[in-house]
Amino acid sequence: MEINWTEIENKWRSKWIQNKDFETNPNEKQKKFITVAYPYPNSPQHIGHGRTYTLADVHARFYRMKGFNVLFPMAFHYTGTPILGMAKRVESGDVELIENLKNLYSVPEESIKSFVEPVKIADYFHEEIKTGMIEMGYSIDWRREFTTIDPVYSKFIEWQINTLREKNLIVQGNHPVGWCPKDQNPVSQHDTQGDVEPDFTEYILIKFKYGDYIIPTATLRPETIFGVVNLWVNPEIVYKKITMDNEKWIVSAECAYKLEFLDKKITYDGEIKGSELIGETVTVPHREESIVMLPASFVESGTGTGMVMSVPAHAPFDYQALEDIKKTNLESDLASQVSKIVPISIIETEGYGENPAKEAVEKFGVTSQNDSKLEEVTKEVYGKEFYGGKLKQNTEQFSGIKVAYAKDTIKEWLIENKHADILLELTNAPIKCRCGAECVVKVLNNQWFLNYGDKDWKELATKCFDQMNILPQEIKSEFQYVIGWLHERACARQHGLGTKLPWDKDWIVESLSDSVIYMAYYTISKFVNNGTIIADNLSKEFFDHIFLDKGDVSNVAEITKMCADVIDEIKKEFQYFYPVDSRHSGRDLVPNHLTFFVLNHVAIFPEKNWPKEIVVNGSVLMNGSKMSKSMGNIIPLRKAIQDYGADPIRLAIIISAELLQDADFNIESVSGIQNKLESLFHECSRLKPEKIDNLEAEDRWILSKAQSMVSQVTTAIEKMRLREALHDILFAFESDLNWYNKRVKAKNRENTSGILHQINSTRVAMLSPFAPHIAEEMWEKLGHSEMVSTSPWPEFSTQSLDANAIQSEELLKSTIDDVANILKVTKITPQKITIYTADLFKSKIYYSILEKVMTGQTNMGIVMKELIANHETVDVKKIPDFVQKTIKDILSEPTEIRETKLQTKEFDEKQFLANELSDIGKKEFGVEIDVFSESDDGIYDPKGKARHARPFKPAILIE
């Protein structure tokens, strides 16, 4: 019989809704507030999104069964720019996008037409995603749903951003961005052709004096100013004479264009040919020395200023160009100047002598300045010098400092003394905007920043992280690292959906800044949705009162025109549910959202409302490779639910990886899960609750095993090791059940339904957070009247652990294994099997050894001596072999089993085996099995095997 997943899922979903099982209000119970990052509705969700939400849902359902009052809400993040871009692309009739919408996302034609309006896109996918979440069976309190462009939410964000500004955490300043000169807008990866992230670097412009003019050269190595011996100019280039911020500069045309965007005032005054500059001299700043300008073909107009300072001791290009020029025919004046040039060595690096550039060039066999190997040589020299080099005496106040540290110090010193300026340049140019224009670096004026670089703020956040539970723990150091390097972050943009900056309406609060404390909003959104709270009259006083417990309620009531009782109720709701007990998200949000989440909480809320836990999960792969549109391997979640059922997908995602690992989703694992669930389902349909009396050995054993499973699963879930938990419930326990069934069958027992019913009820209850729908169905089939999702989590009790049953069953198993093993090796067809258990004397020695081993003594010699010293065990001398083997036996067992054995010293192996072995032995091997103790009178022992018997390791004779 096939399971109809859709039917079962619909049935139980409507019962949950009908019972309002997941609508959470404050009550007398202990609460758990579990949240997960809300979705950005610009596409339907796929399996990858499903992972984070499923993990959080399992978490929520688990705590609900544990007796907590669990709040698990959801909202939708409309704020941001990608939806805006999408709308533009739809408007312009972008074929690729429209085809994707149609075919990949199955968006109806009518809806696509409406997509020219950004909010329509968000609305459409909002509904799509929400439906998917419901179909997945997420236990969400939908009464609290909101979007980030709701008017009340905007008021909330205004309050947040104002509060931060009052605390001086928002500052204004300049900021470089990748920029499209045509669109007049910042560009990010999404906005460029080929999805290239604009990457830029900061060059230091060293200002050389040339009469009234300044000739700047761009470098990444400001320390080399102490080693400059000449400048390189390309005679082919026509340079621009410009006025820049009241200084007269000579630079390439490309450079002048770049400077225009860097907050500089530029006017063009004229041109000068590179060839005209050759042979002229400039003055080195600070050193006040004259150096000559020489021609070089490696100098490019598009890089830096189109002029290069020459440091032949440390820059391979410079060294080579100098060598090259010595070989050419120069006019005598210039030639004599060139001949006087001596490289100045300023850095001492292990592995190099006076002139690292020369050594490297010679090592690589470079022949001219146009040799492509020079790039590589430069990289090598620079790398070694930067990380391993020290500045020499001739660098004045900087001598002795490591190059890596000196770089910034020297830069600041140069700029302070007006010897240098800054040029920002794309490192991965050319980058084209989607509009076709070539991008540049632009410095934005008057940009608003959240000052995440603030030391006190960071300290507070670090404190919060230290107190917080981060799962999995490994990720904690990543957070600490992020906190370390984080600095000012732009918190406003000029385009996109969102809330306007309250004090500067030209700006919109950036979308990663308006989604950091919204968890608090869930506690009031219920009142927004039922009309209690309306946007009008919402003021700072209201939010201060609710969230920070400030001010007087009557005053707030007057301002908001709300009833004081209602305001009290709202405040209590917040105080009951806050702080966030667990925040779930994908690991891609670690360096941004999750860190900002903590930073903003510690900035705004008092310590008692700081978040308690963060749970981070890895992504989902599709058949081992990354999901991407171009690969066409994105499966929309709702499609997957249709094809396989929600529960199999939930389980397949969870079981394929532990938290931080990437989960691999593939059809085989889903159908494997389906089959597993199906057989469990049929098992449950078969079992009836029955009175259990007269427990036999195997009953006590399987019940003990079930108890350990409960304990293991519970601990695993508490640590969010869901893969492990699920594996224990579905698979690991199965092998125990197999053994149990084998035993029961061999004994021809009929009365086990009650026991199996009890055990499977426990399993189904524990399965229910993972596979909620089918678990309800199984639960019903097992004859339970209430819902499993609202029933209590199975309790673990050590009392029902039967140590005796566990070890006797282990003995039985290992004895059978041994027999099977012998049969396999010898290939005998057995006629008769005889088992000999060890006698009492050996047993005494065994426990004596066991005690010693448990105290850590495993040295054979010492154990032997101690045994001989005791008159009870002195006879061990006769069987020295026995001690060695016994120690090995004991060591090859788990610690728990050893402890169990110590607890139950009185254990009659012979009696147990005689009772239990014959049935199962006959079933397995088809012959009778006799059991003797080696000390029995009239023992049948034709081959003298009996003396090999050891406790828990009986001797065996097969004929």
Partner RNA sequence: GCGGGAGUCGCCCAGCCUGGUCAAAGGCGUAGGGCUUAGGACCCUAUCUCUUAGGAGUUCGUGGGUUCAAAUCCCACCUCCCGCACCA
Shorter beta-carbon distance to RNA: residue 15 or 487: 487
Instruction: Tell me the three-class secondary structure of 686-719, residue by residue.
Output: HCCCCCCCCCCHHHHHHHHHHHHHHHHHHHHHHC
Tell me which amino acid residue 282 is: V
Please give the angle made by the CA atoms of 467, 469 and 473, to the nearest 5 degrees. 120
Cβ contact 938:841 at 8 Å: no
Residues 110-149 that bind RNA (CB under 7 A): none
Among 859, 884, 903, 911, binds RNA (CB under 7 A): 859
Among 131, 188, 469, 935, binds RNA (CB under 7 A): 188
Among 268, 387, 405, 503, binds RNA (CB under 7 A): 387
Among 346, 342, 351, CA closest to 314: 346
Given its phi and psi angles, is residue 172 left (phi above 0), alpha (psi -120 to 50 degrees) or beta?
beta
- Return the range that interacts with RNA (CB under 7 A); candidates 3-11, 86-94, 112-120, 815-823: 815-823
C-alpha–C-alpha distance, residues 835 and 930, integer Å: 6
In the shown chain, the binding pattern of residues 481 to 500 toward RNA, with x for contact by CB under 7 A and - for none, equals x---xxxxxx--x--x----
Shorter beta-carbon distance to RNA: residue 452 or 527: 452
Total interface residues for RNA by CB under 7 A: 84
**Residue 186 binds to RNA (criterion: CB under 7 A):** yes
Please give the distance of CA 773 from its chain centroid, rounded to a whole number.
29
**Min. distance of Cβ 956 from RNA in angstroms?**
4
Cβ contact 652:675 at 8 Å: no
- Return the range that interacts with RNA (CB under 7 A); candidates 153-161, 188-196, 560-568, 747-755: 188-196
Q: What is the largest CA-CA distance in the chain?
A: 122
Residues 33-92 that bind RNA (CB under 7 A): 40, 42, 77, 79-82
**Residue 856 binds to RNA (criterion: CB under 7 A):** yes
**Residue 390 binds to RNA (criterion: CB under 7 A):** no
Residues 821-840 that bind RNA (CB under 7 A): 821-822, 825-828
- Return the range that interacts with RNA (CB under 7 A); candidates 64-72, 210-218, 655-663, 873-881: 655-663
**Min. distance of Cβ 594 from RNA in angstroms?**
10
Among 175, 411, 781, 922, binds RNA (CB under 7 A): 175
Among 25, 428, 625, 735, binds RNA (CB under 7 A): 735
Cα first-last separation, the chain: 47
Residues 444-463 that bind RNA (CB under 7 A): 452
Among 193, 477, 685, 884, binds RNA (CB under 7 A): 477
Cβ within 8 Å of residue 508, ≥6 positions away: 492, 493, 494, 495, 496, 497, 498, 499, 500, 501
Shorter beta-carbon distance to RNA: residue 324 or 658: 658
**Residue 169 binds to RNA (criterion: CB under 7 A):** no
**Min. distance of Cβ 826 from RNA in angstroms?**
5
What is the DSSP track for 429-497?
A: ---BBTTSPBPEEEEEEEEEEE-TT-HHHHHHHHHHHHHSEEESGGGHHHHHHHHHH---EE-EESSSB
Shorter beta-carbon distance to RNA: residue 240 or 489: 489
**Min. distance of Cβ 348 from RNA in angstroms?**
20
Among 195, 474, 552, 558, binds RNA (CB under 7 A): 474
Taken as a whole, the chain contains a residue count of 959
Cβ contact 212:184 at 8 Å: no
**Min. distance of Cβ 872 from RNA in angstroms?**
25
Sign, CA torsion 764/770/774/776? positive
Among 337, 575, 633, 669, binds RNA (CB under 7 A): 669
**Min. distance of Cβ 476 from RNA in angstroms?**
9
Shorter beta-carbon distance to RNA: residue 235 or 453: 453
Shorter beta-carbon distance to RNA: residue 312 or 498: 498
In the shown chain, the binding pattern of residues 691 to 730 toward RNA, with x for contact by CB under 7 A and - for none, equals ---------------------------------x--x---
Shorter beta-carbon distance to RNA: residue 43 or 305: 43
Segments in 584-634 forming alpha helices (H): 595-604
**Residue 773 binds to RNA (criterion: CB under 7 A):** no
Among 94, 658, 919, 930, binds RNA (CB under 7 A): 658
Pairing type for strands 347-348 and 238-244 reads unpaired
C-alpha–C-alpha distance, residues 5 and 673, integer Å: 13
**Min. distance of Cβ 228 from RNA in angstroms?**
26
Shorter beta-carbon distance to RNA: residue 77 or 390: 77
**Min. distance of Cβ 141 from RNA in angstroms?**
23
Among 235, 262, 376, 385, CA closest to 314: 385
Among 220, 891, 902, 939, binds RNA (CB under 7 A): 891
Shorter beta-carbon distance to RNA: residue 198 or 611: 198
Whether omega for the bond prior to residue 579 falls within 30 degrees of 0, making it cis, is yes
Residues 609-648 that bind RNA (CB under 7 A): 624
- How many Å is the Cα radius of gyration of the chain? 38
Q: How many CB atoms lie within 10 A of CB 671?
A: 13
Among 742, 747, 746, 709, CA closest to 728: 709
Please give the distance of CA 595 from its chain centroid, rounded to a whole number.
12
**Min. distance of Cβ 480 from RNA in angstroms?**
8
**Min. distance of Cβ 288 from RNA in angstroms?**
35
Residues 364-383 that bind RNA (CB under 7 A): 383
In the numeric block, the tokens 């723990």 are attached to 473
Residues 196-235 that bind RNA (CB under 7 A): 197-199
C-alpha–C-alpha distance, residues 538 and 185, integer Å: 34
**Residue 818 binds to RNA (criterion: CB under 7 A):** yes
Counting Cα atoms < 13 Å in the Cβ hemisphere of 234 gives 20
**Min. distance of Cβ 307 from RNA in angstroms?**
28
Q: Please, which residues bridge with residue 372 across strands?
A: none
166 class by beta-carbon count within 10 Å (0-12 exposed, 13-18 middle, 19+ buried): exposed
Cβ contact 538:560 at 8 Å: yes
**Min. distance of Cβ 731 from RNA in angstroms?**
5
Residues 893-952 that bind RNA (CB under 7 A): 893-894, 943, 945, 948
Among 224, 511, 523, 582, binds RNA (CB under 7 A): 511
Among 47, 36, 40, CA closest to 70: 36
**Min. distance of Cβ 77 from RNA in angstroms?**
5
Structure tokens at 562: 């709300």
Shorter beta-carbon distance to RNA: residue 426 or 778: 426
Residues 283-342 that bind RNA (CB under 7 A): none
Shorter beta-carbon distance to RNA: residue 268 or 940: 940
Among 7, 280, 565, 588, binds RNA (CB under 7 A): 588
Map residue 948 onto helix, strand or coil: helix
C-alpha–C-alpha distance, residues 907 and 918, integer Å: 19
Shorter beta-carbon distance to RNA: residue 21 or 818: 818
Among 107, 309, 562, 589, binds RNA (CB under 7 A): 589
**Residue 672 binds to RNA (criterion: CB under 7 A):** yes
Q: Please, which residues bridge with residue 186 across strands?
A: 179
